Amino acid sequence: MSRWRALGRGARCALLSVLGFWQTASAAAAPPGITVTDAWVRWLPANLPAGGYLTLRNDGDRPATLTAVSSPDYRDITLHRTSLRANVSSMQPVPQIAIPAHRAVSFAADGYHIMLEHATRSVQPGDRVSITLHFADGGAVTVPFEVRRPDAANPP
C-alpha cells in the first residue's frame, strides 16, 4: 500500500487543503479539448468493489494525461487496467492514462477502468456518484456517473 493511501481519506483531504490543491482542483477545468461521455458505474452487491467506465475524448492538439481520480462517495478509488495473458485475466493499478491528441480512450471491463472500493454511503442502481478526474496539467473535472445494475452493458 502506498504511503499516500495509508494516510487515510481524512488525512489526505487535510493535506491537500493545506497545500491549496483541494480548492484549486475543484475549481479547475479539464484540459482544453477533453470531453467526458458515457460515464457509469457497474454496481455490485454486498459492498463489493465497483467498476467505473467512461470515454475520454481529446479534441485538443496536445496529449492529456489522467493522473488520478477521487470521489466523496468512495474511500478508495484508483485507476486500473485489466489485461489478459495466457488466457488469465488480471487487474493492475496504473499510475496514469494518456489520452493522445485527436483520439478517444474508452474505459471498459476488459481494459482501463476506475476501481471503486468502500462506499461512504449506500449506493444503489439508479443513483449518481460524483467522480473527479485529475489531469497532469493541474486541471480537474467532476463528472456525475450513473450507477447501473451488474448486468448493464456499455453504453446504455
Average pLDDT, the chain: 85
pLDDT at 102: 97
**C-alpha 47: how far from its chain's center?**
18
Each residue's pLDDT tens digit, 17-74:
434 434 333 446 889 999 999 999 999 998 899 999 999 999 999 999 999 999 999 9
Beta-carbon contacts of 49 under 8 Å, excluding residues fewer than 6 positions away, are 115, 116, 117
Q: Could you tell me the three cell numbers for 125?
A: 442502481
Q: Which three cell numbers stand for residue 65?
A: 494525461
Q: Which three cell numbers stand for residue 109?
A: 471491463
- Encode pLDDT of 98-120 as tens digits: 999 999 999 998 899 999 999 99
Q: What domains are defined for the chain?
A: 29-148 (2.60.40.1890)
pLDDT of 154 strictly over 70: no
| Averaged pLDDT for residues 1-11 | 50
Q: In which residue are the cell numbers 484540459 written?
A: 31
Contact 147, 127 (CB under 8 A): yes
CB 138 within 8 A of CB 24: yes
Share of the chain above pLDDT 70, in %: 80
Q: Are strands 128-135 and 140-148 parallel, antiparallel or unpaired?
A: antiparallel
pTM of this prediction?
0.79
